[in-house]
Amino acid sequence: MAASVRDVAARAGVSVGTVSNVLNSPGKVAAATAERVLAAIDDLGFVRNDAARQLRVGRSSSIGLVVLDVRNPFFTDVARGVEERAAAEGLSVLLANSDERGDREAAHLALFEEQRVRGILISPVEEVLPQLQGLRNRGIPSVFVDRLASTPGWSSVSVDDVRGGRDAAEHLLARGRRRLLFVGGPLDLRQVQDRLEGARAAVAQVEEARLDVLPVAGLTMAQGVAAGRRILALGADLHTRSDAVVAGNDLIALGVLQGVAINGGIRVPEDLAIVGYDDIDFAAAAAVPITSIRQPRERMGALALELLLEQLDGKESRQIVLQPELVVRASSG
């Protein structure tokens, strides 16, 4: 049904090699011939079969990107950074969503390997090093995004989340808050651990301050809303409990804000201050604009691709750690 390079060759009265050259090294072909071939190509509606090309060439021209949650604007921004840099390099990006689930993550990696992607960028859910090591042995390098590669020999671009968590908590403490509540999860997610650890460190510096933890199942707005409702349900207790929330990310922060606002019983920031994480665009547009820890999102994506290219060039692996930045808005009083 679909025309092949052989059909094109026949119609243009040249050999298949020439057709291929017209497509891939136009300089090698006489102008008149090229013209005839091009004419044949669109007479026949020929479109190159990428599978055949890849098979012969031995590799594809795409790279795989696995993110924790495509619906989180943080990751679409990262993806955007990756894509822009990749396009400049003639690579296309396959975007996959693990939804914070290890099984989906593994499945996506397996698919990427079948597709023989050039390399993989991943924001991992769980311990994927063994699988990635396998990929690397078979010639597919990878780079961690939004997560420090602690094992030597692996590249990564990340933000110092411990510091980010500390900055968030210190800011709240500086504003006089003493009963902090960390809302985030799943707790085995590294980013969450680090941010929590940072917050703990900051709280430990202040005598009468404390930090409780309200774990949630995922870093989504819905989970945040649920958490907000639980905070509301504490009712009068609240004042003996928490006067500030350090959220695992902005989605959680937005959710909590929405959740506690429902009955209007709790005022933000008067009764409850909130600090988010990521500084997605929506944070500034929130009911009460959210104070947040900004990460250079697109830049992380672009850098990650950069590191991947370095690996493909046989260069040394390296870890880039970017610094987060506190952006103060109304939600922290």
Partner DNA sequence: TACAGCGATTGAATCGTTTCAGTCGTTGCC
Partner DNA sequence: GGCAACGACTGAAACGATTCAATCGCTGTA
Question: 64 and 117 in contact (C-beta within 8 Å)?
Answer: yes
Least distance CB 95 / a second copy (angstroms) = 5
Identity at 282, one-letter amino acid code = F
**Total residues interacting with DNA, rule: CB under 7 A:** 29
Identity at 17, one-letter amino acid code = G
Nearer of residues 24 and 49 to a second copy, judged by Cβ: 49
Kindly identify the residues of this chain, within the stretch 40-59, that bind DNA according to CB under 7 A: 46, 48-49, 52-53, 55-58
Angle, vertex CA 122, rays to CA 121 and CA 127, nearest 5: 140
**Residue 20 near which of a second copy, DNA, none (CB within 5-8 Å, type-dependent):** DNA
Find all residues with CB under 8 Å of 186, minimum gap 6, and list them.
Answer: 100, 192, 215, 216, 217, 218
Least distance CB 289 / a second copy (angstroms) = 7
Residue 219 touching a second copy (CB under 8 A):
no
Structure tokens at 163: 């510091």
Nearer of residues 56 and 233 to DNA, judged by Cβ: 56
Kindly identify the residues of this chain, within the stretch 27-66, that bind a second copy according to CB under 8 A: 45, 47-52, 54-55, 60
Residue 73 touching a second copy (CB under 8 A):
yes
Cβ atoms < 10 Å from Cβ of 314: 7
**Rounded Cα–Cα distance for residues 246 and 169 (Å):** 7
**Residue 14 near which of a second copy, DNA, none (CB within 5-8 Å, type-dependent):** DNA
Helix or strand holding residue 228 (H, E) = helix 221-233
The region of 4-12, 224-232, 287-295, 304-312 touching DNA under the rule CB under 7 A is: 4-12
Kindly identify the residues of this chain, within the stretch 91-120, that bind a second copy according to CB under 8 A: 92, 94-95, 97, 110-111, 113-116
Residue 287 touching DNA (CB under 7 A):
no
Report the candidate in 4, 7, 8, 1 with the shortest Cα–Cα distance to residue 41: 8
Nearer of residues 203 and 231 to a second copy, judged by Cβ: 231
Structure tokens at 77: 């921004």
Find all residues with CB under 8 Å of 210, minimum gap 6, and list them.
Answer: 178, 179, 180, 203
Please pick, from the candidates 9, 19, 40, 79, the single residue that binds a second copy as defined by CB under 8 A.
79
Kindly identify the residues of this chain, within the stretch 13-32, that bind DNA according to CB under 7 A: 13-21, 23-24, 28-30, 32
**Residue 257 near which of a second copy, DNA, none (CB within 5-8 Å, type-dependent):** a second copy
**Residue 5 near which of a second copy, DNA, none (CB within 5-8 Å, type-dependent):** DNA
* CA distances, 19 to each of 25, 39, 44, 55 (Å): 10, 11, 13, 18
Angle between the 129-137 and 102-114 helix axes, to the nearest 10 degrees? 0
**Rounded Cα–Cα distance for residues 333 and 50 (Å):** 56
Find all residues with CB under 8 Å of 225, minimum gap 6, and list them.
Answer: 255, 256, 258, 259
Least distance CB 224 / DNA (angstroms) = 44
Residue 33 touching DNA (CB under 7 A):
yes
Please give the residue ranges that form the binding site for DNA (CB under 7 A): 2, 4-6, 13-21, 23-24, 28-30, 32-33, 46, 48-49, 52-53, 55-58
Please give the residue ranges that form the binding site for a second copy (CB under 8 A): 1-2, 45, 47-52, 54-55, 60, 70-71, 73, 76-77, 79-80, 83, 92, 94-95, 97, 110-111, 113-116, 134, 137-139, 221, 254-255, 257-258, 281-282, 284-289
